[in-house]
Structure 1
């Protein structure tokens, strides 16, 4: 990364409200945008980019204000992810996943655990990664008295080498009970493999990890008291919460694609030689493309903001979350996830109709928006999200909490 961190971030007062933090995120996006295409091609480990997130204060957005955090809620966090993703989908994903794993202690842990984790994370500006891919079920957790030992492998570990701490997940040996714990990313027993080589989201450090005898004290097992897990319905809110991160990641990438394409069209797209117009911005079909795609994007952004506000009401009173409230929220999340997927794919491919053949040059980097959306939207089949909505409409069925619903 060739750009530098604005020096006045260190001297300016920290933002105090949602709009202030969104402006700060826009400043970060402006820095990232200067060389986003080049960094995407290089695919280098984004150490500098993560330091930018730390210097700007975005990593501590959800942290308690009394410990140096931003004291903000999920409504703001989603908007910040969307803003950063306009410039760089990879860094937007890293930040969004960081927010979820930072919040995991509160979702799963006891009050004593999450208060300690959130205070330390805010004070030390921890950047979180997660080795919690649910389709890999071979991480075994062995009970050795006062200590738990994690051993196995995960195919994906987003954040890996750029993280300060990593959330681990495994199954307690001889049981069906899952255990979550937070460990130092540079600790003994964790080996991150440089095998993330996909067409999009190239800078997310999402490769595999080997977990070889990572030791964790029993008191650090999230949600466990005297080796027994204390379940709450709120524990199951992790899926709709991260799915809304996905939604805002997709919408941010789509908005960035539109903004970048519009700038190209204003300055470089040539009018069609048989159209009779002197400028591309006057071509009726070009105007129609931007009008159509923008209207669709704005509609889904409005739905995403509404669903985020609905979710915040659940986060505001975790102990009062019921199975019905959680299920109805998941249906709403599923609906906006389906629409965000469709509109982001349409926008990131449709812009080329308005920018023209020359815009497909590799140096322009316009393809990265589509590659990023196409890669991440395959995380889980969108048809199953539509099914959740359809089943609820037709039968009143609520989605059963799983790793994906």
Structure 2
């Protein structure tokens, strides 16, 4: 990674407002941008990049102020993810997932549990990973005295080797009851594999994980009191919350693609020899495409910010979240997820039309933007997001909570 890491974050006053934290994220993004293409090609585990997030204070953005966190809310966190993803989609995803898993204790756990987790996470600058791929139903949880034992395998475990703690998910043996627990990432029996070899999001450490009798105290089972789960509607807000993480790092990648392409067009692109213009920046077709893509990106960003504000109102009063409010929010999230997917894919593709043939050189790395968005947008089919919106428009039907809605 670049050695241009700022050295004055620890001597400057910490950011105090949302705007200042977004500016700090922009500083982090500028550091990541210096060698983003080279790091993408190398595919090295991003230990230095995660340390950069810790040194900058972004890791504890959502943490309680009294324990060293920034005390910011989700509207700021989403903007921070977007800024970081401009330079590096992988690191933007890692940070966004970290925020969700850090917040998961509050979503699912008891007050005593989440207050403890958030305090420890802020004080120790924990970076969270998660072995919670919902399509894998092969992690079984058994009881052994005062402990729970997790055994099985997950296909994906984002953040694995760069995490300090990992959120585990499994099903109690012989039941359909899921259980979540946070364990140290170096726990005995927890083995992360080097099998993440996809075309995009190469630095997310999203490979498989084996759980060979990973033990954790019963008291760490999120939301359980006397071994019985205490359900709340707020528990189900985990899906729309992380779907907005997806939205914002897609839009961040798209913004980074446009900015990088525009710099290339201004400094390296040649005008077409039959166009009659001396500069590529005077080509009317080039101007039109940049204008079109920018307008689409701005519209998607505005919708994303509006939906984030709607979600924050639910986070502000968790006990008041109703099934109807939760369902209405999910419809809005589905709509912006569909828009962000289409816009980011279009931008990642069309930037080559305004940069030219030489921009396809591996050294330029412009392909990483499309590869990153294309890879992650397959997480769940966007057609099903549009279906949620369409069902609501035609029948007033609100989506039921699932692992993907």
Q: 1:272 maps to what in 2? A: 272
Distance in 2, matches of 1:252 and 1:217, equals 39
Distance in 1, matches of 2:43 and 2:10, equals 28
Q: 2:103 maps to what in 1? A: 103
- Cα contact 1:64–1:118 (8 A) shared by 2: yes
Distance in 2, matches of 1:121 and 1:14, equals 18
Secondary structure at 2:340 match in 1: helix
- Cα contact 1:5–1:55 (8 A) shared by 2: no
Distance in 2, matches of 1:319 and 1:203, equals 37
- Cα contact 1:168–1:180 (8 A) shared by 2: yes
Alignment map for 1:207-356 (pairs within 5 Å): 207-356=207-356
Shift of 1:64: 0.2
1:184-228 per-position Cα deviation (integer Å, ceiling 9, x unaligned)? 001101000000000000000000000010111111100000000
1:85 aligned onto 2:105: no
Secondary structure at 1:210 match in 2: strand
Shift of 1:398: 0.6
1:308-339 per-position Cα deviation (integer Å, ceiling 9, x unaligned)? 00000000000000000000000000000000
Residue ranges of structure 1 left out of the alignment (5+ in a row): none
Shift of 1:141: 0.4
List structure 1 segments (4+ residues) > 4 angstroms apart after TM superposition: none
Distance in 2, matches of 1:217 and 1:250, equals 37
Q: 1:7 maps to what in 2? A: 7
Q: 1:360 maps to what in 2? A: 360
Shift of 1:14: 1.0
Secondary structure at 2:363 match in 1: helix
1:167-194 per-position Cα deviation (integer Å, ceiling 9, x unaligned)? 0000011211110000000110100000
1:50 aligned onto 2:74: no
Residue ranges of structure 2 left out of the alignment (5+ in a row): none
Distance in 1, matches of 2:162 and 2:53, equals 12
TM-score by length of 2: 1.00
Secondary structure at 1:181 match in 2: strand
Shift of 1:278: 0.6
1:336-375 per-position Cα deviation (integer Å, ceiling 9, x unaligned)? 0000000000001001110000000000000000000000
Shift of 1:145: 2.3
Q: 2:29 maps to what in 1? A: 29
Alignment map for 1:158-173 (pairs within 5 Å): 158-173=158-173
Distance in 2, matches of 1:70 and 1:385, equals 33
Q: 1:373 maps to what in 2? A: 373
Q: 1:20 maps to what in 2? A: 20
1:43-74 per-position Cα deviation (integer Å, ceiling 9, x unaligned)? 00000000000000000000000100010000
Distance in 2, matches of 1:270 and 1:181, equals 56
Distance in 2, matches of 1:148 and 1:283, equals 65
Say which is worse superposed, 5-14 or 283-292, in terms of deviation.
5-14
- Cα contact 1:166–1:183 (8 A) shared by 2: yes
Q: 2:383 maps to what in 1? A: 383
Distance in 2, matches of 1:129 and 1:234, equals 22
Q: 1:152 maps to what in 2? A: 152
- Cα contact 2:2–2:32 (8 A) shared by 1: no
Q: How many residues align?
A: 405
Distance in 2, matches of 1:16 and 1:172, equals 44
